A and B are shown apart, each in its own frame.
Chain A
Amino acid sequence: MKELYPWRKAVKIPLPPAVKPQLIRHFTIGLLYPVTDELREAREKAGLDPVPPTAHRYRDAVDDIQKIVRAIGVDRNVGLDLDRMEYKYK
């Protein structure tokens, strides 16, 4: 393609800075916040399982989300490398 269109350049997608880390967390753990030691303790004191039955507990749910995101192609559109969890454009 580069030979045919030598002036073509990748387009930088203007994602708001506050959104970028949210997308990485979403696609890494499935949710915005991780399970911390303080949380485990507080959940146990509330009589709950220390790890909630969300994607925090089910890694396969995160794998599914990544497959879906790749199928849509939004990772490419926003310049996010899902394998390295890094943005192509800083």
Chain B
Amino acid sequence: MTAKYSHFLGCVMPTKMPWAEAAIMRTLPKLGVDVVYLERSTCCPRAGVWISVDRRVWLTLASFNLLQAEQQGRDVLVSCNGCYVTLFEANKVLNADPKALEEVNKYLGAAGLSYHGNIRVRHYLEVLYEDVGIERIRREAKKLTGLRVAIHPGCHMRIWADGHILRYFTEIIDALGVEIVPYGLEQMCCGLQSNLADREFATYERAKKKLDAIQETEVDGLVLVCAGCYDQFERAVSTLRKKDNYDFKVPVIHLAELVAVAFGMTPDEFGMRYMRTAPVDRLIEKLERITGTARLPAELAAATENVPR
């Protein structure tokens, strides 16, 4: 039986990465994935914050999101590493520990709700690699040959000891015909969690070190699959621009955007130009050249007018 998914958006994707949300919600159905929105969702919540404050809050508020999918009769699809870890781990605890589930349901009962733990939490990369199939992606994706990217896997992509999600990440990029350019700091944290303790450290000792190394490689984009990491990079780029006149010219993109283009969508069909950390015009031109969808100057002017800056 084909799996059915409710896409959990989290805090950052719907408010800072609408292009990624649109790319996922339009491309997955084309690839045969049954996906709808996980409605009424709230913050995942961030395990790094809540486990240290009160573990019951982490488990109960995560359950609030999980039960929305359970009520829809669907598994949860998560397209952010951070949200994935929160929801996957909470679901694992609630399935393994009946007392924890009972306690959570006591608190959910205050809102007339309950969770039964009958669903799975799956990462966007697992759905692409396992459900859609890496062989199908290799076979059917329009190859984005000539595109050179740096990757930021993010700490939470390494949740599994066997490293399968990290492997899926690089194999899918390879299947799209995209070249991964090494920069030496792929495994370094973006600095998101450090923000809670020391914003200067998070900005200069984590994000900027990565941004400097990536900028030197002259790649077309920095690819990630974590909205939390995107949030950190966006904040760091903005802070560095204001404080130090630092100019980071590499667009930070979600893998879903490359998948969308490789499966026939044009960048303007999922709003790729808007709300970006760095201009994406050159990347879009390159993608359109590679896919043979380059437009006439008049069409381009119409698409770029009224672009919010």
* Contact (A46, B108) CB under 8 Å given A30-B43, A55-B42, A65-B61: no
CA distance A10 to B45 in the complex (A): 28
Contacts of B25 in A (CB 8 A): 48
B-contacting residues, A37-90, CB 8 Å: 38-39, 41-43, 45-48, 52-58, 60-65, 67-72, 74, 77-78
Given contacts A52-B37, A54-B40, A55-B40, 14 further A-B contacts (CB under 8 A): A19-B49, A22-B46, A39-B18, A42-B274, A46-B19, A46-B21, A48-B21, A53-B9, A68-B107, A70-B110, A71-B107, A72-B57, A74-B56, A78-B53
Pairwise interchain contact A45-B274, C-beta atoms closer than 8 A = yes
* Contact (A32, B270) CB under 8 Å given A16-B196, A19-B196, A38-B308: no
Interface string of B41-78 (1 = CB under 8 A from A): 11101100100011011001100100000000000000
Interface string of B104-147 (1 = CB under 8 A from A): 00111111010000000000000000000000000000000000
* Contact (A15, B60) CB under 8 Å given A33-B12, A39-B275, A71-B110: no
Pairwise interchain contact B56-A53, C-beta atoms closer than 8 A = no
CA distance A30 to B9 in the complex (A): 12
Contacts of B275 in A (CB 8 A): 38-39, 42
Within the complex, what minimum Cβ distance (angstroms) separates B162 from chain A? 32
Q: How large is the interface on B (under 10, 10 to 19, 20 to 34, 35 or more residues)?
A: 35 or more
Within the complex, what minimum Cβ distance (angstroms) separates A16 from chain B? 5
Q: List 18 A-B contacts (CB under 8 A).
A: A26-B42, A30-B41, A36-B15, A39-B16, A45-B273, A46-B21, A46-B274, A47-B270, A48-B18, A52-B15, A52-B37, A53-B37, A53-B39, A54-B39, A61-B40, A65-B61, A65-B64, A71-B110
Contacts of B274 in A (CB 8 A): 41-42, 45-46
